Structure 1
Amino acid sequence: MRILCLHGYGTSPNVMKYQMSALMKLCDSSWNFYYLAGNLNCPVTPGFAPAIPGPYLCYSAEFDPVSMRAAHALVKETLASQGPFDGVFGFSQGAAVLLAYLLEQRAIYPGKRLPVRFGIFCSPVTLIATDPAYYGSVLGPLSLEDENRLRSARDDQLEQLTGSARVAIKALVGVLDAVEPVTRRPRTSFLNRPPLEVPCVLDPALFKARLPIPTLHVRGRNDPPALRDCSLSGESFCLPKWRRTFEHSAIHDFPRSMAEMKEMVSAMRSVIESSQQSKL
């Protein structure tokens, strides 16, 4: 059983192995985890330096369509050159990149089988689109006045946006504010750009593709509201028939208590077994 793993922003494969070390002791010995390093350097997530030496990496620092396409290309190339993989396992930005990649693959090739048979997504941040048509439909129609509102990054101005742009930007700014201690960048850094370079959130009401594979969605029950909303949004892109959810007491992390780790591994086993039994 081969599982491709993507780490969170400002960490690394070594950090992810450390985060998962206790959990791994409970996993089936036949589950082989392969860790994909992000392709960009970025500031370390608070709490890991100097305990775990760098470099500290991410899959995108700008969250714009160009860098997100590069992240998707990295995933695609790894699946092709290092695969086959039975499933994927992502945490935070890694989970969001995997979800967005698989969803856009599903949208582009609706009749084609996905490259993996299951997904485990832990505390994903917001899913960012790369599809130009989706970008155009959400942020393309902005008037000059709305562009200025977007560039201002002010709540009172953003509230005046209309339609799908307002939905996408409202979801985005909550996450940008929540992760600012990690990125060290204010929301203006991401919003004061031409509209088609602003991160564009995949919204379940606007993007119709769904993942038809068994999935497990792991989140902290006490996560900040914006990050919890990201997890819930990610779940809604997966078919209820095939998805499982597990909540734990840690905040934007893996579970830490032995009881919760055992429960998560049990949920992982259930999803993996479902993927082996399904004909998807």
Structure 2
Amino acid sequence: MKVLCLHGQNQNGHIFKNEIESILLNYQNSGVDLDFEFLDAPLRCTDGAVNGTPLYQYYEGLDIPKLRKAHHWLSGKLNENGPYDGVIAFSQGATLVSSYILYHQWYNHESPLSFRFAMLIGGSIPLPVLKDLGVPVTKEAEQVVEEANSQRHQALGPLPAHSSKARRALFNSDDCFGLNLNRVPLELKIRIPTIHVWGRQDPLLPVSIHLAGLCDPYIRKIFIHEGAHEVPKTEDNKMEVGKLLQWGLQRAVWPGHDEV
């Protein structure tokens, strides 16, 4: 089995491997033939390095042509090295994967994806992507995202108003932080098994909830840890994420997968 691992913005494959290696360790020592492949994003960041190691990003800003160029890069990697059983992605990597899935389902729905499940840690689906695909986006949803980004840029936690609304938003298809998910076409709901992981102290939790709301709830798992915008760090949380990864790997070989 092969799993593609995609890091976040201002990271690289080596950093991401170090962050999740203890989660993967049980699988690597289990005797199961598993290959976790870590890539570096295509664009080198200009704001420095870590211990002399370059940092990378998939795209800069939320300009749709730049994002689509990143999709083209990902598609090339999937065609070259895939197919994969799954993808594990963090932050910008998770946003790349989720938006790639939506465009693929909309424009290339006759072709199967090159992976069968996705674990999305601190992921999002940018509102410009939804707009580009014809999904109605309200001013309220835009305001929520603007507030969340402002909190992140100030290195603050989530707004109390966002935290208090989080659970209701996750299960309210009419008002998921301003998005009416009932008005989103089925073709723009992610229909492969997904695992969503985010921190209770992550200021960007509303955008992670937007993404989770766009995924099929019958083949979706959610884990909320006590940290911020990060890969879970405590041993208990890593164990829970490991169990969810096992669920995803099982779904990757599930006989009914191709009928989902």
TM-score, length of structure 2 as denominator length: 0.78
Q: CA deviation at 1:264?
A: 1.0
Secondary structure of the corresponding residue to residue 26 of structure 1: helix
Q: Which residue of 1 aligns with 2:40?
A: 37
Distance 1:68 1:263, change over 3 A: same
Q: Which residue of 2 aligns with 1:173?
A: 146
Q: Which residue of 1 aligns with 2:218?
A: 241
Q: Which residue of 2 aligns with 1:22?
A: 22
Kept in 1: contact 2:98–2:125 (CA 8 A): no
Q: Which residue of 1 aligns with 2:90?
A: 91
Larger % of strand: which?
A: 2
1:83 and 1:177 map into 2 onto residues whose CA distance is 37
Stretches of 4+ aligned residues off by more than 4 angstroms? 128-131
Q: Which residue of 2 aligns with 1:275?
A: 252
Q: Which residue of 1 aligns with 2:132?
A: 135
2:190 and 2:78 map into 1 onto residues whose CA distance is 17
Distance 1:137 1:20, change over 3 A: closer
1:237 and 1:39 map into 2 onto residues whose CA distance is 27
User: Deviations along 1:192-222, whole A, 9 cap, x unmatched?
Assistant: xxxxxxxxxxx66464311221111111122
User: Deviations along 1:227-264, whole A, 9 cap, x unmatched?
Assistant: 11111111112101111111222211122222221111
Distance 1:241 1:44, change over 3 A: farther
2:205 corresponds to which of 225, 228, 233: 228
Q: CA deviation at 1:43?
A: 5.3
Letter in 2 for 1:8: G
Secondary structure of the corresponding residue to residue 137 of structure 2: helix
1:57 and 1:273 map into 2 onto residues whose CA distance is 31
2:212 and 2:61 map into 1 onto residues whose CA distance is 24
Distance 1:121 1:179, change over 3 A: same
Task: Give the total of aligned pairs.
Answer: 228
User: Deviations along 1:120-153, whole A, 9 cap, x unmatched?
Assistant: 100114436558xx43857xxxxxxxxxxxxxxx
Distance 1:239 1:39, change over 3 A: same
Q: CA deviation at 1:58?
A: 0.7
Distance 1:181 1:17, change over 3 A: farther
Distance 1:97 1:171, change over 3 A: farther
Distance 1:38 1:207, change over 3 A: farther
Q: Which residue of 2 aligns with 1:153?
A: none
Kept in 2: contact 1:2–1:34 (CA 8 A): yes
User: Deviations along 1:24-73, whole A, 9 cap, x unmatched?
Assistant: 2233443311122112222569xxx64x4331111111220121011111
**Higher mean C-alpha deviation, range 204-213 or range 59-68:** 204-213
Distance 1:126 1:164, change over 3 A: closer
Q: CA deviation at 1:276?
A: 1.0
Identity of aligned residues (%): 24
Kept in 2: contact 1:125–1:175 (CA 8 A): no
List runs of 5+ in structure 1 lacking aligned partners.
139-162, 183-202
